[in-house]
Structure 1
């Protein structure tokens, strides 16, 4: 690592490999990200954790500049071992997590987020949920769209973060920036934040539209989920019963972020295809 970003030499080495030995993988990833906004790359589950982390970091280098936004992980990756004493709906909790984008309340949310599964829930729960932000927004009527462009919404806190700009006390849900794609700054926790009470009806309507687009996938050991945050939100279903599992056997998931880089192999392929 170079600070909170993956070192430039590591990124260059990974991209060189993807452009030579990894061309089939790169084409598959670029096609799926372009069409759906998310993709799962599956690595051999028999690889040890260290090699899975390294291989996944290499693939992320093909998408952009990998980095971490929160301290406390192993190099690039923030680990999340399921724990009963955490907020059930948080990263590392055991309850359902409403669909959201990571860091909706900062000036520069991560362009991509990724989840690497090292140990699925032995109790069979914890499916990942993917929902189509743009499809939901397209269903809004003009009145609701106007309400959601107002910079009046609040969600959580943004503290001690890296590489994602400055905190936003309030923000629009539909953040339509000139010459850039619209950010849809969504998090399910907007519905339970008392600061948004006056706008709860429109938030509830958008949440319903978003839920109608959702699909579930069960990540297995070695699966890397990459999500384009300008297009899709992610969450999870509740884990199964954990009280009979020793902590070391519980679900272990890792997270890393990626900043857009037009020179990354996947985006070069998309330019050529265009």
Structure 2
């Protein structure tokens, strides 16, 4: 785990490498692709690929479905940064690689972070392979990536997350989905740490809290992005019903398979949404 000075230097060096690779592009939007949704990366026009391993302080990924590449280019003619893969907090206790990734893209001028993930549905009307717009979250990870000394160069010690998932961007995504005949549910995302899937009792608890989908990511990225002044939007691809809500067997392979089934709608939504976010 690096000290604050090393972390700040990693952010600076990574941002410099990204800026050099961008050429004349000035993206204001970055997207993080979740499990089974990495296929969107193939749609990036004139891509420039930077492996995470070449960016100081970036995460080293270990989970299937997460490639570990930063891709520069355009989607629907809009300059973007696509982050293909993330490090989950069931893999590590160290928040610094994720901090470096988020803060580096902020340092090159990104203003909005679009998060995607694979999630389990807590509601019968939100079906498998459908999409859910994240309206709010419940952090049940047992951690916050900003615990520890605050670095005022990146953001304030205390900050509001009342509008963590930006209301203006949510409204735009709803309009895009309607205009393109894409089913887009809305709901609250509950983040568990994993790596085990939730028990039926935990699913009932999350339902009682007002949750609509459950997963193992996205909340830390949201918090880090909001801390350094970015707006955040997010969509879950529903890959299964929560434990006890169906007879299906929950496995990571099952997650990837069903994310793939929802990928076409996700890609269609993103290709239209980048024009308005």
TM-score, normalised on structure 1? 0.30
Higher strand share: 2
Which has the greater radius of gyration?
Answer: 1
Q: Which has the higher contact order (CA 8 A, sep 6+)?
A: 1
TM-score, normalised on structure 2? 0.30
